Every structure is written in structure tokens, then in C-alpha cells.
Structure 1
Amino acid sequence: MALLVSAWIWKEQFWFPENVTWADLEHPAPGVTYPQAGHLLYALPLAVGVFILRLLFERLVAKPCANILHIQTGVRRQVQPNALLEKFYLSKTSPDHRHLEQLSKQLGWDLRRVQRWFRIRRDQDRPTIETKFCESMWRFTFYSLIFIYSVFYMWHSPWVWNTRHCWYNYPFQPMIQSQYNHYIAELAFYWSLMFSQFIDIKRKDFLIMFIHHLATILLITFSYSNNMLRAGALVMCVHDASDVFLEAAKLANYAKYQRLCDALFVLFALVFFITRLVIFPFWIIHSVLFESWEIMGPYRAWWLLNSLLLVLQVLHIYWFYLITCIAVKSIFKGKVSKDDRSDVESSSEEEINSNCSKKSM
């Protein structure tokens, strides 16, 4: 049964244009390397290593930086222990008015006291500024390094400046070591994000982010398996560019450098618009949709890969809407507004989180 499922998943008629087989890529000419689907299995243990590296980075690098910038964990008020309210809180952190009235009658408390208990209890579970700072510093470091690396090795590649080269002689395009390093690092990182999303800061767009990470992993996996490395590398590079500025703006915000935060946020919004709403759809998706059709014609996996790219583009439009909302608020308030993604209620109106988008890939 497993063999039948595997044969169906890796059916050559699905993955490649007509008259191309897996054997053609498994036995390249001497000195030539093609991607092999089995190579991607290395990303799973590497994802565990990336997660461990993140924990070490946050403890040994990010926390000392937070201390230098005087970012404190803060002392929070503790709720009065109450077994009934705690049991209800574990099932529903934000009860509606009807439940609040029922709890008020059971305990003999006035309604405002019950509301205050839940507000303080939610605040206890809210991650500290130091925790958010460490998370953002880790992401900023990864996105910066991987973006610099990708630009460095792709700069002199002809397919960067003329995307038609992504499809000439496809899929018989030799893979270089830098492409493999780029792919395996990105895949391991996004696998680690998939795992850590369940223990990281909870936000309103948890499901959206889950879909984003899943679509990204599928895109990386599929594009590597059928040797669509050139277009895939362009997609990853374009997405990483804006994430660098997003995380930098968040770091400035947590350190209370408001003017720097606002400037970085504006820069992030501009880079996001240029890379994800201009370059990505009109340069990369246009090449995958139209230039590849013209040069080699469509095939089954071609439809799937383009569908995933379009899913990402829809997410980009949604996130740019959030960015625009925050930008409009900042015009009237003079600073970047509260995080529209945060699902944790803050007890302080002074706390501002500029994380309006991720993702990215």
C-alpha cells in the first residue's frame, strides 16, 4: 500500500513535462548535479538543530542585548487564586457577558470584579517585552543572513536579470552548492517555524500564518523536487527582503526608540509593497505563468506550483491591508499602532507592537 501511495505521489507525468523521467535527473553527466527529492529529508533534523540554535541565540545573545537596552521583563499583578475561575479560564480566556454574570452569581462577586480577574489573568499569560524582543532578534538575524547570502550568490546569475533563463533547457539545469545551501536552510527554518508557532507568541492570524508556512514549505519542496530552483530562489529572496525591515522595526519598538521604529516601519512598508506587490506578481509570477508556458508548456505540477504562488499573493494583499491600517493610524497618533495580529490583551496602553505582517516567507 505504501509503495502504491509513493508511486502515485511521485508520478512522473505529474511532476515533469512530457518525456522527462526521474531517471533522467538521477543519473546526470559527470560533474553535473541535479536535485534529488531525498535530499530534503535532511531539512527535518536540521530544523530541530535550527530550533535549538534559536534557544541558544535567545539566551546567549538576544537576552544580553535586551539587558543592554534596558528591556525589562516587568513585574505583573497576580490574580487572586480561584479554582472556579481558573477552570473556566482554561476553556475560555475571554468569557462573554452571559458567562460573566453566571460566574458573578456563583461567587457572589460583582461583575466588574470578575471582569478584572479575567483581564489580569490574561495579562499574566501575555509574553513579556523581553520575550518578544528575543524572538524578533532571532528572526532579524536569520532573515538578514539568508538574504545577504542569496543576493551574494545570485547576483551574477543570468536568470536573475532575465527570468526566461529559468526555463531554458528545463529541467536539465545543473544545481550549484549555493542553491542547495539556500534551499535547505530556508526549508529547515520554516519547518522550525511550523513547530514553534504552537509555543510562540499567540496572534490573531495564527491560522493565516499556519497556511503561509505550509504553502511556503510546499513551494520549497515541490520546486526543489522538480528542479525549479531558479524561480524558487527568486521567490525566497524577494520575501526575505521585507522581513528584515519588519523585524528591525519591531526591535526598535521594543527598545522604545520610537522615531527609529517609525522610520523602519515606513521603510518596511515601502519594501513590502515593491517586493511583494510589484516584483513578485509582475516579475516572478509573470515568468512562472507566461514565460514558462511559452518556453516549455504547462504540465500538472505547473498548475499546482502556480496555485501556491497565487495563494501567497492573496496573503500579501491581506497583509498589506493590515500594514496600511497601521500606517493610517500612525499618521493620526504619531506612532506605529498596536499590533493588529496580537491575540493577547495588553494591560498597558503604552505598549506598542509594530508586527503587522510576517511571513514571509
Structure 2
Amino acid sequence: MATIESPSEGTIRKDSIHAQEGEAWKVEYANGSRRDNVLEAATCSNPGGMASTSRKNKRKDDSLMYTIRQHIVNHQLGLSINCLAFLTLTHLLFPSLRPMTTPFFTLSHLDVRTGMYHPGADDLKFVSLWIVIFTGLRAGTMDYVLTPWARSLGLHKKKTTVRFAEQAWMLVYYSVFWTLGMYLYMRSDYWADFPAMWNKTPTSAMTGLFKWYYLAQFAFWLQQIVVVNIEDRRKDHWQMFTHHIITSLLMLMSYGYYQTNVGNVVLCIMDVVDIILPAAKMMKYVGMQTACDVAFGIFIVTWFIARHVIYMAVVWSVHKDLPASMIYGCYDLNSNSRHSADGGHDVWINVLHAYRSGEHEVCFNNNIRLSFLGLLLALQGLTVAWFAMICRVAWGVLSGKPADDSRSEDEGEDEEEEEEVEEVPEVKIANKLPKAPKEEEVGVEELRFTRRSSPRTRKSKARASGISIPGHSDHKELLGRIGCDKPGS
């Protein structure tokens, strides 16, 4: 075996002086470490001559729960289709099970005498199916419609196309359901009259379209809770998770307590803002700077009017008008008559009345009123904190601070993986490394080793998040959510 010494790097050994191409070379460094196939590694190195290997240190663990969560994220469409297929085949092939499976596919609790629907426990089956449907629709639309659309618009970075597809999906959803909600609201007897929301309270009758709208919205918000917990967490995870929990509780309680009128109004108030924000972000991604600036201004004005003026008018109506229209006591749903002046003190047994049976009396008391007010004000607290951050950033931009100086280059992902470059000494043979190893007699000419230090590189961390609560992070995060700076593509 022939060896060649290098004072700075170590010793390179070739097992045979006539070794064929592809045989192993070994380098033994001064510190005692070794590396095999050095010539192969050097041949595949970058044009600068530095042979390096990249190692990504994932910030996630390899636990079972993480593996399951990633599997669900990566196969949302397939899992949704399988669930729908299983339920459909069960319904078709097993007639004896149809009384149990029918509520998944059709609206339940129809009063054939009036043609109106009522809330009931079977509605939860309908909601669960629509959670699956929304999951599949979101994944399929993003993968096969919105992502190709983003690429056709010139967006090529994976992260940017994903962000564009996410915002486009939200724009589609809210455009459809806000329009439907406004249609139902404008045709109601409480249009632009908040005290009228409580007329004939409590009443459980509703049209089939209204019932589908309300249950589908309920399913969407429950599905959003699933999304924020299975996908990579972002900086505003807990704020958004709290928001989704409060919204879902309000829908659960309002539906079970026959207060869907006010639920319809609140949804219309909130959804209009969520149309403008995704539209502004999509304009930003495709480089429509002026349109994005205009949309951002409309977004701020709409947010304030809808979520802080009109919304608080609804809250005030809950505080003042509801007790006047529905006096404390217990009521019969069939006649809406008040049987007792004592509404008791129970909350959950009443607000979940429809899910139990809907046949007993439903009572109203001060604890129930305070429960609804507490949830509504908690939701307002979140929106106030977000709006304060919006105004602070908007003021900075109006003061001359460029938006693109206040945020990182990209919106980022939840936790950007760190990439480290492992140092490997560069091997030079006759000042230039050939593409294939060249056989030479050991000792004929001297092989010299040089070493070039390879600095460690670390990717900057960023997250794509919602509007952060003040004190949570700097303004970069918010501008990534609402700003109109030029994105990478």
C-alpha cells in the first residue's frame, strides 16, 4: 500500500497502486479522523472546489404523534376521499344501517307540516361529514387548481406558491359564504334592525338553505381548528387557535340555543374582512403593488367599521335588547310561551338544549346572557389587539418607513429548518480536479492538499403567520401578513 503525507491535512492511502476507477480512497487526518471516497466526494463538489455535505437539523422531533400528523398533512385529499367512499359504500350496501348513515348526507329534523327544519343532535353528523369535505376540497383545490395558477402567474418558489394557494382558497371560501350569508340576512325580518334579531325568541324553525349555511360554517371553523394543529405551527398559533375555539363555541351554543339570527349577523360582519385580506396578499405575490396598496387601505377601513363598530353594536344588542325581548324564565318551543319566571342558573343544559332532545323547556337566565357576552367580548379583545398592531405598522409606513424594510425577505414557514455545512477539506490534484479519478503511480509526483475553511451558514428564521399580538414579535411578522412589499417568486 502506498501512502503520501501531507503536513497540513494528513495521509491519503490507495489500497493498490493499480487500483481501478471507483476503488476506495481513504484520507486520514492529523486528528485521527478518516474519510472514505474522498476523490468521489471532491469530484461531485461545487464549482468553487469546496466539497461539502448539507445536514438539516430539523426542529421537529421524530415522535409518533409528529409522524402521524405529517402523514395526515401529506395525504389530506386521499384520506378525505377514503372517508367519503367508506361512508358512501356503507350507506349503499347496508340498508339496515341507513337510519344511522342518512344524517351524514342529508339535513335532519324536518317538520313535514311546515317544511321548516329544526336543530337536533343528528346535525352533528352532518357537520362531521362537512369537516371531511372541506379538508378534501381545500387540499384538492390548492394542489390541482390554485398552485398551477400561481405558477402560470410567474410564481415558482414552493413557499410562495403555497402561500398564494392558501390565500386564494380563503378568498374563494369567504366570497361564497359571505355572499350566501348576506343573501339570507337581507331576506330576513331582522335586516338592518338588531332588536328584531330577538323577535319570537326562542324559535327553532329555519329554512333548509339557512340550516345548511349555518352547519357548513360550523364545520369550516371546526376544520380550521384541525388545520392549525396538524400543519406546521406559526408564530400566531395560539392566537388563531384561541380565535377558532371561541368562534366554534359561539356557533355551537347559538345553534343549540336557537339564536341563529345573531349568528348569521356576526358571521357576515366577520367574513367581509376575510375577503379583502387574501385578495390584497394575492396582489402582493403577483407584483400588483398599486392594487395591493389600495386593497390594504380598504382592508383597514373595513376591519374597523365591521369588527369594531357594527360588531360592538351587536354586542350591545345582546346586552340590552335580548333581556327585553326574552325575559328571564323558561319557555315552551312549540308555542314560544313563557311557563315560568324562574330561569334557574344552569348554562350548558340550556345552551345545548337542541342537541339533547329539543323537547323540554328551554330556560333563559342572567348566567346564559353573561356567557354569550363573555365569549363575544373575548373575540373582540383579540380583534382589538390585532387592530392595534395594524394601526401601529400602518402609521410607520405612512411616516415614511418602507414596508419591505420592516420584515424578512419572505413570509417564512413555521420553523425554518437550519442548514449546516459540514467542513470537508478540498482536495486538489495538479491544481485542477478531473471529472474522473486519474490513475497515477504513487510517488511519481507529489500530491498536495489544501484546506479552505467553510463558514457555517444558517438560514434566517421566519414564519408565515397572522397578525401578532403586540409584544409577541416585531413588526416584520405583521407586514408579512398584511404588508404590500414585493415578494420573492
Query: Fold match, TM over 0.5?
Result: yes
- Kept in 2, the 8 Å contact 1:43–1:187? The answer is yes
Deviates more, 1:332-341 or 1:267-276: 332-341
Residue 37 of structure 1: how far off its partner (Å):
4.0
Give distance in 1, aligned partners of 2:390 and 2:187: 33
- Kept in 2, the 8 Å contact 1:62–1:134? The answer is yes
Partner letter of residue 151 of structure 1? M
* Aligned twin of 1:20: none
- Kept in 2, the 8 Å contact 1:187–1:217? The answer is yes
* Aligned twin of 1:240: 271
- Kept in 1, the 8 Å contact 2:270–2:306? The answer is yes
1:260 aligns with 2:260: no
* Aligned twin of 1:34: 118
Q: Please list, as runs of the form range in 1=range in 2, the aligned pairs for 1:316-355 lying within 5 A after superposition.
A: 316-331=383-398, 332-335=400-403, 338=407, 344=415, 347=460, 354-355=480-481
Q: Please list, as runs of the form range in 1=range in 2, the aligned pairs for 1:76-225 lying within 5 A after superposition.
A: 128-200=159-231, 202-225=233-256
What SS is found at the alignment partner of 2:141?
A: helix
Using structure 1 for the length normalisation, give the TM-score: 0.70
Partner letter of residue 315 of structure 1? L
1:288 aligns with 2:333: no
Partner letter of residue 113 of structure 2? P
Residue 326 of structure 1: how far off its partner (Å):
2.5
Identity of aligned residues (%): 27
Cα 1:172–1:198 shift into 2, 3 Å:
closer
* Aligned twin of 2:327: 297
Cα 1:265–1:196 shift into 2, 3 Å:
same
- Kept in 2, the 8 Å contact 1:204–1:342? The answer is no
Give distance in 2, aligned partners of 1:262 and 1:341: 21
* Aligned twin of 2:131: 47
- Kept in 2, the 8 Å contact 1:158–1:165? The answer is yes
**Offset from partner CA, 1:123-153 (integer Å, 9 cap, x none):** xxxxx11111111111111011101111122
Cα 1:314–1:278 shift into 2, 3 Å:
same
* Aligned twin of 2:153: 69
Residue 181 of structure 1: how far off its partner (Å):
1.7
Q: How many pairs are equivalent?
A: 278
Residue 308 of structure 1: how far off its partner (Å):
0.8
Cα 1:136–1:301 shift into 2, 3 Å:
same
Looking at both structures, which has the greater relative contact order when contacts are Cα pairs under 8 Å and sequence separation is at least 6? 1
Residue 259 of structure 1: how far off its partner (Å):
1.9
Give distance in 2, aligned partners of 1:312 and 1:179: 24
**Offset from partner CA, 1:211-245 (integer Å, 9 cap, x none):** 10001111111100111010001011100000100
What SS is found at the alignment partner of 2:144?
A: helix
Residue 46 of structure 1: how far off its partner (Å):
1.2
**Offset from partner CA, 1:44-94 (integer Å, 9 cap, x none):** 2211110111011001211121012111126xxxxxxxxxxxxxxxxxxxx
Give distance in 2, aligned partners of 1:201 and 1:308: 27
- Kept in 2, the 8 Å contact 1:341–1:356? The answer is no
What SS is found at the alignment partner of 2:167?
A: helix
Give distance in 2, aligned partners of 1:292 and 1:341: 45
1:227 aligns with 2:258: yes
Cα 1:353–1:255 shift into 2, 3 Å:
farther
**Offset from partner CA, 1:228-278 (integer Å, 9 cap, x none):** 010001011100000100111111122222222221111111100000010
Deviates more, 1:292-301 or 1:268-277: 292-301
Partner letter of residue 120 of structure 2? Q
- Kept in 1, the 8 Å contact 2:202–2:259? The answer is yes
Q: Which has the higher helix share?
A: 1
Give distance in 2, aligned partners of 1:56 and 1:43: 20
Give distance in 1, aligned partners of 2:305 and 2:477: 29
- Kept in 2, the 8 Å contact 1:34–1:174? The answer is yes
* Aligned twin of 2:376: 309
What SS is found at the alignment partner of 2:157?
A: coil
* Aligned twin of 1:17: none
- Kept in 1, the 8 Å contact 2:296–2:482? The answer is no
Using structure 2 for the length normalisation, give the TM-score: 0.53
| RMSD across aligned positions (CA) | 2.8
Give distance in 2, aligned partners of 1:304 and 1:165: 21
Give distance in 2, aligned partners of 1:301 and 1:341: 43
Give distance in 2, aligned partners of 1:72 and 1:325: 32
Partner letter of residue 152 of structure 1? Y
Cα 1:201–1:147 shift into 2, 3 Å:
farther
Give distance in 1, aligned partners of 2:210 and 2:388: 33
- Kept in 2, the 8 Å contact 1:223–1:229? The answer is yes
